[in-house]
Amino acid sequence: MIVAAAAAEFVPVAVYNNVPGKDADLLKRFQEPAWNNPVVRFLGGDEKDLIPRKDEVFHGGAVLARMAEALEKAKRPVPAYLKLAVAEFAPKKTETAVFAMHCYWEGEAKLGALDGVISTRIGELEKAEVVEVTFDPAVVGYPKLVEAARKLDCTHKVFARTDAHLKAAAAVVGDKAVRSDKEIDAKTQQQYHLAHHPRYHYLPLTAAQATKVNAALANKKSPDEFLSPLQLAMHTRFTKTTDDEAKRIAQLTPDRSPVGVIGYWAKLDATLAGK
């Protein structure tokens, strides 16, 4: 996601340490010390910092957050896929909610479309079909999330993960709110609607992207705003696959985990290259 955003929204430049010539000249020009700490800077057309310089940026989520901040400072729109990546990989705080409903595949589509919901995971808990929601309380507080879920008919029962959540949920759904720390049994097909659209399903998506793309497809909307330019290019490539390529792709199992999605992308590239 960092590579996609850098290529699409910025002119990326890598300057190496302790390399004579142009690299050394650039370090001197921008008064950067010759050291081994990574420094990420965002410059405008006037070669001045859009946002304050920062070193020791070791985490990818921090880079994504600074990308979004720099675009905002430059008064440029922050793409939906980048906003989603920041919410997923650089959240200030996330919380978890669990809702029971008559069909978890419908529930994941409804709840996954809500603002502030980062990702969903479906399964069973105490013999009920449930959707576990990871959300950003700075965008949607727990009481508002429960109220939204109630309006979507997704609160046949609310499994509160904290005492504070139990109190807030009870104020909305009464005795349908119960306290539970039990893990859900998630051994089932996740993102049901996404799974029925192979050209999206086999893309290298993160968990948050899979959640939003699944919700968009279920609601008959285009999910493309949640895809990076590289993912959109891959989607276009899928439209031109041969029957043999399609069969090889269908043998792959998408990995949505932060590390696994990188390895999955490499496998997909190799498969399309016939390796």
Architecture of domain 95-179: 2-Layer Sandwich (3.30)
The letter for the amino acid at 23 is D
The whole-number average pLDDT for the span 1-22 is 89
Quick one: tokens of 18? 């302790």
Give the pLDDT confidence of 152-168 residue by residue, as tens digits: 999 999 999 999 999 99
What helix, strand, coil percent values describe the chain, rounded to 5? Answer: 45, 15, 40
- Cα 169 to Cα 109, 117, 150, 180, 264: the distances in Å are 21, 17, 10, 13, 39
Query: What is the model's pLDDT at position 58?
Result: 79
Nearest Cα to Cα of residue 265 among 192, 220, 209: 209
State the Cα–Cα distance between residues 197 and 180, nearest whole angstrom.
35
Query: What is the model's pLDDT at position 56?
Result: 82
Nearest Cα to Cα of residue 158 among 111, 118, 93: 111
Q: Which pLDDT band holds residue 185 (cuts at 50, 70, 90)?
A: very high
Compute CA 138 distance to the chain's CA centroid, rounded to the nearest angstrom.
16
Nearest Cα to Cα of residue 42 among 79, 17, 67, 25: 67
Query: What is the model's pLDDT at position 118?
Result: 96
Q: Which pLDDT band holds residue 274 (cuts at 50, 70, 90)?
A: confident
Q: Which residue has the tokens 């893309």?
A: 203
The whole-number average pLDDT for the span 186-214 is 96
The whole-number average pLDDT for the span 179-188 is 95
Give the pLDDT confidence of 33-84 residue by residue, as tens digits: 877 778 889 999 899 999 999 888 878 899 999 999 999 999 999 999 999 9
In the predicted model, is pLDDT for residue 19 greater than 90?
no
The whole-number average pLDDT for the span 132-161 is 97
Query: What is the model's pLDDT at position 238?
Result: 93
For the chain, the structural domain boundaries read 2-78, 95-179, 192-272
What's the chain's average pLDDT? 94
The whole-number average pLDDT for the span 92-101 is 95
Least confident of 15-29, 199-213, 223-237: 15-29
What is the length of the chain? 275
In the predicted model, is pLDDT for residue 2 greater than 90?
no
Instruction: Please report, rounded to a whole number, the percentage of residues in the chain having pLDDT higher than 70.
Output: 100
Query: What is the model's pLDDT at position 216?
Result: 97
